[in-house]
Amino acid sequence: MRTVAEHLAACLEIARPAAPLDVVLLDAVGCVLAEDVVADIDLPSADLAGLDGYAVMSAGLAGAAEATPVALEVMDAVRAGDVRPTRLVPGAAVLIDSGAPMPLGADAVVPWMLTDRGQSRVQVRAAVSAGQNVRRRAGDVAAGTTVLPRGSRVSARQIALLAGIGRYRVKVMPAPRVVIVSIGDELVEPGQPRDPGDVFDANGHALASAVTDAGGRAFRVAAVPDELSALAETIEDQLVRADLVITTGGLSAGQGDTVKEVLAPLGSVRFDAVAMVPGRQLGLGTVEDTPIFCLPGDPVTAQIAFETFVRPVLRQIAGRRNLHRSSLPASISTGWHSPPGKREFVPVRLTGSPSRGYAAVPASPPGATRLLGLARANAIAVVPETTHTVVAGETLHCLLLDA
């Protein structure tokens, strides 16, 4: 029997980061940069007006006040994007839009509200200092600066910066493509008629959502019956678009469970009992060099196995720095007996704050695998293998599901 740590190490060992891709900006969202991004321009590329008003020489307005305005001749008007060379002379001002290039000789902008808004001659009612209301050249980014290091995750904020410095394409670690295959004669699609003995395919939908949440691209296959040729054909067909395959179901020793028989001739897949609760046998290996993870059919067990073993792998393939969910110590509200020698994962409802501390209440009885309890949980309490009895008030580390 493998420990949780041993199985996780084996999972991370077979999954390698994908080759970087050069993509357009919108396709980079959610991905991790595979290169350092260096600005090749200054941002802004020139001194710009920080607001609408008048570009002035600040020295000429030293005595300007409400009671003693200073009159300036308005010699020109500059709009954003105007590239005409404009030079300010003493005693004059230039009407200027926010974002427009500052005229030569001007070192400040007087806002509209501090003037009479004159068109040919303006009364300025306040003094300004040099640099006031001016966005200096390279004040945001200087050419040659590494603005985003390799390993940065790209979101809307980073897209704004990349577009702002003129980058249209970047190299990223692509989101892993994950095919999910649910196995079982009894499975039917939610929304379809259900006969006695049928079970709605919760795992296909749940695991696809979990893959997306982990940063992958999910491709869900319709449930496959417990039939050797159908399962073998499905897996072989899906390998062409998969960086990783997840199967769920078909791992029991009973009649009709086909995963072992199908995968044995297709690739190198090992099946081990893993010392965890909930849990049982898990499969891990490769088929034509594509990693494959075989999870149980019970939806709660499958979700916890995904969180423990598959989610870190997806984040590793995608180039993420933090592979595991954040955790918090929390006081447990009730006690129970935990299976000796096994790491137990218990869905809990976590409440509290950093100042008051955190408390955790099991969302369903420990040891039970109930979908309602998992749906209501916002964390998973982890009971170490060496703990046989959890005592009320004891502190356990809880993995944050909604962080």
What the block records as the tokens of 297 is 């059919």
Residue 326 neighbours by CB distance under 10 Å: 10
- Quick one: pLDDT at residue 253? 61
Q: How far apart are the two ends of the chain, measured CA to CA in Å?
A: 32
147 and 130 assigned to the same domain: no
pLDDT for 60 equals 94
What element of type H or E holds 391? none
Q: What is the dihedral of CA 316, 320, 325, 329, to 10 degrees?
A: 120
**Residue 106 and residue 92 in contact, taking contact as beta carbons nearer than 8 Å:** no
- The SS3 assignment for 387 reads coil
* Same domain membership, residue 168 and residue 32: yes
Pairing outcome for strands 48-49 and 199-200: unpaired
Cβ within 8 Å of residue 291, ≥6 positions away: 14, 15, 243, 244, 245, 284, 285, 313
Contact 184, 249 (CB under 8 A): yes
Long-range CB pairs of 253-262 (<8 Å, 24+ gap) are 256/185, 256/226, 257/226, 258/183, 258/226, 258/227, 258/228, 258/231, 259/183, 259/231, 259/283, 259/294, 261/228, 262/228, 262/231, 262/232, 262/235
| Domain finish residue from 253, 283, 318 | 318
Q: How far apart are CA 83 and CA 101, in angstroms?
A: 8
Which residues have CB under 8 Å from 326's CB, separation 6+?
Answer: 399, 400, 403
- Residues 54, 31 within the same domain: no
Query: d(Cα 201, Cα 297) in Å, to the nearest integer?
Result: 10
Q: Does residue 183 share a domain with residue 234?
A: yes
Any idea what the CATH number is for the domain that residue 199 is in? 3.40.980.10
* pLDDT given at position 120: 94
Pairing of β 343-353 and β 276-277: parallel
Residue 18 is encoded by which pair of tokens? 């994908």
Predicted TM-score of the model (pTM) = 0.83
Same domain, 234 and 124: no
Q: What is the pLDDT of residue 16?
A: 80
The half-sphere exposure of 244 on its side-chain side, counting CA atoms within 13 A, is 33
CATH, residue 121: 2.170.190.11
Side chain identity at 160, as an amino acid letter?
A
Q: What digits encode the pLDDT tens for the residues 114-128?
A: 999 999 999 999 999
| Domain termination residue (choose one: 318, 351, 367) | 318
> What is the C-alpha separation between 307 and 4, in angstroms, rounded?
12
| Residue 124 and residue 159 in one domain | no
Is residue 113 located within the same domain as residue 219? Answer: no
CA 115 – CA 254 distance, rounded (Å) = 86
Residues 296 and 395 in one domain: no
For residue 133, what is the enclosing H or E element? none
Identify the domain containing residue 126 by its residue range.
48-135
pLDDT for 17? 79
Name the amino acid, one letter, at 169. R
Q: Rounded to an integer, what is the distance from CA 336 to the centroid of its chain?
A: 36
Structure tokens at 250: 């078909």
Q: How many domains does the chain have?
A: 4
Of 113, 135, 157, the residue at which a domain comes to its end is 135
Do 233 and 278 lie in one domain? The reply is yes
Q: Supply the CATH number for residue 163's domain.
A: 3.90.105.10
Do 37 and 68 reside in the same domain of the chain? no
Please, what are the averages of pLDDT over each run of 10 residues along the chain (403 residues)?
95 88 95 96 96 96 93 95 90 96 97 95 96 97 97 95 96 95 92 91 96 94 89 92 93 69 83 92 92 95 97 93 94 95 97 96 93 96 96 97 82
Do 234 and 341 fall into the same domain? no
Same domain, 197 and 284: yes
Q: CATH number of the domain that 390 lies in?
A: 2.40.340.10
Residues 165 and 212: their CA atoms lie apart, in Å, by: 30
Q: What are the beta bridge partners of residue 380?
A: 347, 399
